Structure 1
Amino acid sequence: MEPLALAVRSARSGPANVTQTLRSFVLTISIFLAAYSSGAAHEVTPTIADFEIADGQLTLELRLNIEAFVAGINLDGMENTDTAAQAQDYDSLRALSEAELKPMVALFAEDWLSTLEVYAGEDIPLSLQSVTIPEVGDVELPRSSALIVTGPVDGAARGLKIGWPKGSGGVVLRQNGVEDPYTGYLQGGEVTPTIPISGGLAQSPQQAFVDYIPVGYTHILPKGLDHILFVLGLFFFSTRLRPLIWQISAFTVAHTIALALGALGWIRIDPAIVEPLIAASIVFVAVENVFARKLHSWRTLVIFGFGLLHGLGFASVLAEFGLPDAQFLPALLGFNVGVELGQLTVVGVAYALFGFWFWGHPKYRGRVAIPASFTIALIGAYWFAERVFL
C-alpha cells in the first residue's frame, strides 16, 4: 500500500508533485496487473455434484479438479492455485496420464470420503466406484475429472443431509431423478438442509436470484481479470462521463443478450475461439485509447460486438455451475446482476484511484491513461498469444 499512500499524500501537497503522484499510481496498477495476470489460467472452479437415490442406493457423481485435491490444496477461499504452497505439485499432477494419476486418486479418496458426510437417518458409508480422468491437454487449464461414489440408504429414510468437507472449496449440489429437485451451493464446511429423498425442496425464485448474485460478482471480482481489464480499457478512454456511460451501456446490453442466448443453448461457440477473441478485444480498446481522443459511433458498435463475446464467456461459467431448470430465469438474472455489480465496482475503484484525483489535470492522459492502456494492451496481447499458440 505504500505507493498508494504516497500518491494520496502527493496529490494533496500541490501541483509540483503531480507527476510523481501519477507515476506512483501507474506503477502500482502495472505491478498489480502483471503479477495477477500470470496466474489467470489457474482459476479455481467449483465441484459439480449430482446425486440420486434409487433402489436403496445413493449414487453421487462428482466432477472436479481432482489434481488440486490430490495435491492437498486448501480450496476454501482460494482464488487461484498459483498462490498455494502446493502449486508446483499441482502443476506436476496435471501432466500425468489417467493410468499414472488413478492410483493417487484412489489413495486420496480413502481418506477424503470419510470427511464427506452424508446422513439419512444414519451415517452413510461411501465407497469409490470409478474414476474417469481426461487425457492430458493444455496443462495450463484444469481438467474436469469424474468420480462415482455410492453408499447404501435405508429404505425407511425420508430425507438426507450432505456436509461438504472443509478445504474442498465450493460445490454445486444437484438432486436428480425426482420432481422439484434440490439445488444448492455450499462452501467447505457447510451442510445442506434436510433434503427430501422424494423431492420437493426446489429453490424459490427469490432464493435462486439471490444465490446466483455472488456467483456473477465473484466471476468479475476477483476471478475475471480479462473482464476487469476490458472495463478498465473503457474507463481510461476519456475523462468525461458521457463516453464512459455510452461504452459501458453498449457492453452491458451486448453481454446480457449473449449470456441469455448462451445459457439457453441457442448459441454455442468453442471456448478455444471465444477466449482468444476476448483477449483481442482487450488489446483493441487499450490500443485505441492511445490514438483516439473522442468517442466515434463505430467504436460503440465494436464494443457492442465485443460485449457479445464476453457474454459467451460468462455463459461458459454458468455451464460449469449449472442453472436450476425450475428457476432458470431468476438464477440467470441473479448471475447477470452480480456481473453488473462487479463491473460497477471496477469502475468505482478506478474512479476513486484515478478519476477523482486526476481527471481534471492536463497531464492525466499522457501520464496515466496512455501508460495504463499500454500495460493493458501488453497483457491482452500476451493472453492472445498464449491462448492461440501455447
Structure 2
Amino acid sequence: MNLCCRSIFQALVRVLAIFPLVALGVAATNTVAGAHEIRPAIVDLTVQDDGTVRLEMSLILEAALAEVGAEHADTDESPNAERYDSLRLLEEEALAAEFERSETRFVEGVRLMAGDERIPLEVETLELDPVGDTDFARLSRMTLTGRLPAGATELVYSFDASFGPSVIRVPGEEGTNSYSAYLDNGSPSAPIPVEGVITMTAGEVFVDYIGIGFTHIVPKGLDHILFVVGLFLLSPRLRPLLVQVTAFTVAHSVTLALAMLGVLTLPGSVVEPLIAASILFIAVENLGTDRLTRWRPYVVFIFGLLHGLGFAGVLNEIGLSPAHFASGLLGFNIGVEAGQLAVVAGCYALFGAWFADRPWYRTRITIPLSLAIAAIAAWWVVERTGLVG
C-alpha cells in the first residue's frame, strides 16, 4: 500500500473508531424493540387453585396478526411485511378492532393440551399502547384463560408457527422460573405438571440449550455470522483466524456469564447498534490490510464483549431455571461456538479450500465481500439507532 492510500485508510479507521460512540449516544435514548425485529412472544403459564389456567402473554401483536412467521429473522423478509407495517401505524382502538376480527384465528393458534384433550381458551384482557414512535415495535399484553379438565396432571403448550416463535415460562419462587423453553416452528413444550415443578435433568437442559445457542447463530444470527465471516476474510491462513476467534470467544463468554449473573447489563437498544458498528469496523479494516495487525486481536476482544451481551439478551428472554443455570449457560455457549465453527467451516469450504493460494484471493474474495459486509453493517447502524424506519 502506497503512502497516500495508507494515509487515507488510517484516516478512515480513525473515523470509524468513533462510530460505536455515535451509535451509543443515539441508541441510549431508545429502549424498545426495532420495528422489524422478530421477538418471541413471552408466555407465563400458571394454574390457580380453582382450576383456572392462565396464559399471560407479552408479544408484538402486529407480527402475529400479520402471520409473519417463525422462519423469518426480520419482518421485511416475510411476504406479509406490508400488512405488518400497516398494522404498526394503527392507534390502539383500530388495532383492537383488527384483533377482534382475527381473535378466533389467534386463539386457535394458542394450543394448550391436557393429555389428548384441548383446553378451550378465551381472551380475558388485552392491553395495547398508543402507536407512538413507528420506528420501533410496540409490545402488547394479553391474558388468556381456560379451565383445567378433571383429573388432568400435565399440560403441553404450543404456539402456531405462523405467529412467530415463543418462550413458555412457568413462574417459580422469588421471581424465578421453574421451567422455560424457547419454542420455534410450532414445537410443543415438554409436559408441564399441574402440581409441583417440571423435572428436567441437567443433561436435558444442557442438550436443549446447545440447540438454542446454535440456532441463534445459524441461521438466525446474521449479524454474528457476518462478524465471523469478516474475521475469516482478513487472511485465509490459520494463525490470524485462530488468534481472532480465540479473542472473540473468550470475550463473549465472559460478558455472557456476567450478564446472566446480573453483574453487567446493557439494554438491547444500546448493544445492537454497537454490534452493527463492530461489524462495520472489521469489514473496513479488511480493506486496508491483508495481515493481522498488532491491535486487531484487542479490537476483536472488545467487540466480543459486546456480542456476549447480545447473546445474553436471548437467554434473558427465555429465562434460565436457577436449578440448571450452569448447565443451561454452558450448553448455550457451546451451541454458539458450534455455530461459529460452522460458519468458519462454510467459509473455508466456499473460499479457503479452493482459492487461498491464488494471487487474486484478496482482490476477488476479501475486498468485494468486505465491501458488501460494510454496506450491510452501515445500514444496520443507521437503522438500529432509529435514524430511519
Q: Same fold (TM over 0.5)?
A: yes
- 1 CA distance for matches of 2:82 and 2:74? 13
In the alignment, is the contact (CA less than 8 A) between 2:110 and 2:158 conserved in 1? yes
Aligned residue number for residue 47 of structure 1: 41
- 1 CA distance for matches of 2:185 and 2:288? 48
Aligned residue number for residue 327 of structure 1: 324
Of all paired residues, the percent bearing the same amino acid is 46
- Which residue of the other structure, out of 107, 112, 115, is the alignment partner of 1:113? 107
Alignment of 1:183 with 2:180, yes or no, is yes
- 2 CA distance for matches of 1:190 and 1:383? 31
Q: Number of paired residues? A: 350
Aligned residue number for residue 102 of structure 1: 96
- 1:367 Cα deviation from its structure 2 partner: 2.1
- 1 CA distance for matches of 2:290 and 2:55? 57
- 2 CA distance for matches of 1:76 and 1:376? 25
Aligned residue number for residue 264 of structure 1: 261
Aligned residue number for residue 374 of structure 1: 371
- 1:93 Cα deviation from its structure 2 partner: 0.8
Q: SS where residue 42 of structure 1 aligns?
A: coil
- Give me the TM-score of the superposition, normalised by structure 2: 0.82
- 2 CA distance for matches of 1:314 and 1:184? 16
- 1:184 Cα deviation from its structure 2 partner: 3.4
Relative distance call for 1:375 and 1:319 in structure 2 (3 A) is same
Structure scoring higher RCO (CA < 8 A, sep ≥ 6) equals: 2
Alignment of 1:125 with 2:120, yes or no, is yes
Alignment of 1:350 with 2:347, yes or no, is yes
Residue deviations 1:319-339 (CA, integer Å, cap 9, x gap): 222222321121111111111
Aligned residue number for residue 5 of structure 1: none
- 2 CA distance for matches of 1:215 and 1:138? 32
Relative distance call for 1:280 and 1:72 in structure 2 (3 A) is closer
Alignment of 1:363 with 2:366, yes or no, is no
Aligned residue number for residue 199 of structure 1: 196
- 2 CA distance for matches of 1:81 and 1:124? 31
- 2 CA distance for matches of 1:222 and 1:55? 42
- 1:163 Cα deviation from its structure 2 partner: 4.4
Aligned residue number for residue 273 of structure 1: 270
Relative distance call for 1:180 and 1:278 in structure 2 (3 A) is closer
- 1:363 Cα deviation from its structure 2 partner: 1.5
In the alignment, is the contact (CA less than 8 A) between 2:255 and 2:308 conserved in 1? yes
When the two chains are superposed, the root-mean-square deviation of aligned CA atoms in Å is 2.5
- 1:143 Cα deviation from its structure 2 partner: 3.2
- 2 CA distance for matches of 1:141 and 1:196? 37
Aligned residue number for residue 232 of structure 1: 229
- Give me the TM-score of the superposition, normalised by structure 1: 0.82
- 2 CA distance for matches of 1:383 and 1:361? 33
In the alignment, is the contact (CA less than 8 A) between 1:62 and 1:146 conserved in 2? yes
In the alignment, is the contact (CA less than 8 A) between 1:183 and 1:202 conserved in 2? no
In the alignment, is the contact (CA less than 8 A) between 2:119 and 2:149 conserved in 1? no
Relative distance call for 1:325 and 1:133 in structure 2 (3 A) is farther
For 1:46-85, what aligned pairs fall within 5 Å after superposition?
Answer: 46-56=40-50, 57-73=52-68, 75-85=69-79
The letter of the residue matching 2:121 is L
For 1:166-177, what aligned pairs fall within 5 Å after superposition?
Answer: 167-177=162-172
- 1:246 Cα deviation from its structure 2 partner: 0.1
Relative distance call for 1:81 and 1:273 in structure 2 (3 A) is closer
- 1:312 Cα deviation from its structure 2 partner: 0.8
- 1:82 Cα deviation from its structure 2 partner: 2.5
- 2 CA distance for matches of 1:381 and 1:361? 30
Residue deviations 1:242-277 (CA, integer Å, cap 9, x gap): 011000100011011111111222111132222222
The letter of the residue matching 1:126 is L
- 1 CA distance for matches of 2:314 and 2:201? 22
Aligned residue number for residue 161 of structure 1: 156
The letter of the residue matching 1:124 is I
Relative distance call for 1:143 and 1:203 in structure 2 (3 A) is farther
In the alignment, is the contact (CA less than 8 A) between 1:172 and 1:321 conserved in 2? yes
- 2 CA distance for matches of 1:217 and 1:95? 35
- 1:115 Cα deviation from its structure 2 partner: 4.5
Relative distance call for 1:41 and 1:209 in structure 2 (3 A) is farther
- 1 CA distance for matches of 2:380 and 2:190? 42
The letter of the residue matching 2:212 is V
In the alignment, is the contact (CA less than 8 A) between 2:44 and 2:57 conserved in 1? yes
Relative distance call for 1:355 and 1:324 in structure 2 (3 A) is same
Relative distance call for 1:383 and 1:341 in structure 2 (3 A) is same
In the alignment, is the contact (CA less than 8 A) between 2:88 and 2:137 conserved in 1? yes
Residue deviations 1:311-368 (CA, integer Å, cap 9, x gap): 1111112222222232112111111111111111111111111111111111211222
Relative distance call for 1:368 and 1:97 in structure 2 (3 A) is same
Aligned residue number for residue 300 of structure 2: 303
- 1:183 Cα deviation from its structure 2 partner: 3.2
Relative distance call for 1:354 and 1:130 in structure 2 (3 A) is same
- 2 CA distance for matches of 1:97 and 1:239? 53
Aligned residue number for residue 35 of structure 1: none
- 2 CA distance for matches of 1:337 and 1:301? 23
In the alignment, is the contact (CA less than 8 A) between 2:111 and 2:159 conserved in 1? yes
- 1 CA distance for matches of 2:185 and 2:284? 42
Relative distance call for 1:171 and 1:272 in structure 2 (3 A) is closer
Q: SS where residue 90 of structure 1 aligns?
A: helix
Deviates more, 1:50-59 or 1:183-192: 183-192
- 2 CA distance for matches of 1:65 and 1:82? 15
Aligned residue number for residue 205 of structure 2: 208
